[in-house]
Amino acid sequence: MAGLVLSGCGIKPFSQSLAIPTRGFIHKNDKNPVTLLPSKDPIAIFSSRSTTPDRFSKWEVKVSAPFKIPSIDGENSERERGERINSDEEIVKEEEKFDAGAPPPFKLADIRAAIPKHCWVKDPWRSMSYVIRDVACVLGLAAAAAYLNNWLVWPLYWAAQGTMFWALFVLGHDCGHGSFSNNSKLNSVVGHILHSSILVPYHGWRISHRTHHQNHGHVENDESWHPLSEKTFKSLDWMTRTLRFTLPFPMLAYPFYLWNRSPGKSGSHFDPSSDLFVPVEKKDVMTSTICWTAMFALLLGLNFVVGPMQMLKLYGIPYWINVIWLDLVTYLHHHGHEDKLPWYRGKEWSYLRGGLTTIDRDYGWINNIHHDIGTHVVHHLFPQIPHYHLIEATEAAKPVLGKYYREPKKSRGLPFHLLGELISSLKKDHYVSDTGDVLYYQTDPKLTTSQNRD
């Protein structure tokens, strides 16, 4: 290296086998100009004209040289800064290139292998402890509210009890997935008690929810909050379209969905003959419908015992708060992310790609109350993992998921920020194209204008 520098200054000749570096100075008369490495010593640069052979007597500076030559430390600093800028630019470009709709570079088995083995273990005693805790809270809240019977207390009771009803639903949901325990009879008994108590037909819902998990992200085959095709959307009358996309109506949809499913689909969760079910499931559906009917009859009977107004305050309003929670949480699991997420049809759909468009949400201190149901990506891919292992399983899976995992925004106490994301989604996520296999939500400008006006 020293030989190169000295030779470039005309002090020491180059070796015949060594090419001259192409940097710094250029000869006017050469057709194929050759450049020399500039010296770091400014005196050597200007004195080189008199000391070099005649062949190098007419070298010129290719670019204008600074009056003061930077030090080696300065050059290193500039070089490091340039490398850092280039690195940042590469990161930005890489992020811009990321396509959420592209097939992931990993398989479902890779995610499964990253999750610790104990996360798959189901502890029925631990699961039952959550049931006992939640049922005790429900009964305690109802007893306290009935005893105090004060209008300063009732709104607080409604919010708390509605949230606890929703917690009961989540535990019944675990029974439906079989993540509550390995005992199917225990799952069925607990699931019926929990779901019937909040007017949900356990088996009817369990089967349709299974369909949702098996087909999530598929435009036609998904069951829960799937997008409407453009043709179906435009066929809806004004009232149906408004009710579906204008608050608060979408957040009150669940009971109606149980009776008649979503637009474009037919069937009922209460009817054993519905196309939701196969013939061997009819007995299960009938059992759940009978349990639901028994609970409804019990509620009617209590109206005569304590009075309709007291039942409305104790049960009716908390029930609808529970419905709002259910619709809010399930909608935001699959909508409202700041980046557009794909939906699929045809050969582009797969279980893994559909599940990867699910979104985790943070609900602050409510996370523990509703059993971390917001930790939803890993749950969607592996619904057999108990809820009390979901956070650990998600942390273990993140390195494999990479950019296909979207870190949820943290809530400070209560998740008020999610209301903004809900409103934004309802204003722009209206339908998908009738054609194509990788699809993104499109917006109906007329509906958006109507929503803004309202």
pLDDT digits (tens, 9 = 90+) for 340-393: 899 999 999 999 999 999 999 999 999 999 999 999 999 999 999 999 999 999
Residue 307, in any domain of the structure: yes
Alpha-carbon dihedral 69, 75, 81, 83, rounded to 10 degrees: 130
Residue 71, in any domain of the structure: no
Give residue 171's pLDDT.
Answer: 98
Residue 75, in any domain of the structure: no
| Whether residue 298 sits in one domain with residue 190 | yes
**Residue 435 C-alpha from the chain's centroid:** 25
| Whether residue 205 sits in one domain with residue 321 | yes
| Whether residue 154 sits in one domain with residue 20 | no
| Whether residue 429 sits in one domain with residue 323 | yes
Per-residue pLDDT band at 242 (split at 50, 70, 90): confident
| Whether residue 311 sits in one domain with residue 187 | yes
| Whether residue 123 sits in one domain with residue 43 | no
| Whether residue 127 sits in one domain with residue 52 | no
| Whether residue 351 sits in one domain with residue 271 | yes
How far is Cα 397 from Cα 380, in angstroms, rounded to an integer?
A: 13
* Segments forming the whole domain that contains residue 140: 108-453
| Whether residue 251 sits in one domain with residue 371 | yes
| Whether residue 138 sits in one domain with residue 57 | no
Total domain count for the chain?
2
| Whether residue 165 sits in one domain with residue 32 | no
Q: What is the chain's Cα-based Rg? A: 33
How far is Cα 263 from Cα 239, in angstroms, rounded to an integer?
A: 13
pLDDT, one tens digit per residue, over 317-345 is 999 999 999 999 999 999 999 888 999 99
Residue 402, in any domain of the structure: yes
> 86: Cβ–Cβ under 8 A, 6 or more apart, which residues?
none
Residue 97, in any domain of the structure: no
Give residue 88's pLDDT.
Answer: 56
| Whether residue 164 sits in one domain with residue 22 | no
Residue 70, in any domain of the structure: no
Residue 77, in any domain of the structure: no
pTM of the model: 0.78
pLDDT, one tens digit per residue, over 181-214 is 999 999 999 999 999 999 999 999 999 999 999 9
User: Given the DSSP bridges, would you call strands 228-229 and 431-432 parallel, antiparallel or unpaired?
Assistant: parallel
Residue 90, in any domain of the structure: no
- Work out the percent of the chain whose per-residue pLDDT is above 70: 78
Cβ–Cβ under 8 Å, residues 163 and 370: yes
Range from 38-42, 151-155, 223-227, 386-390 carrying the lowest mean pLDDT: 38-42
Residue whose tokens read 């468009």: 357
- The pLDDT of 421-448, averaged and rounded, is 92
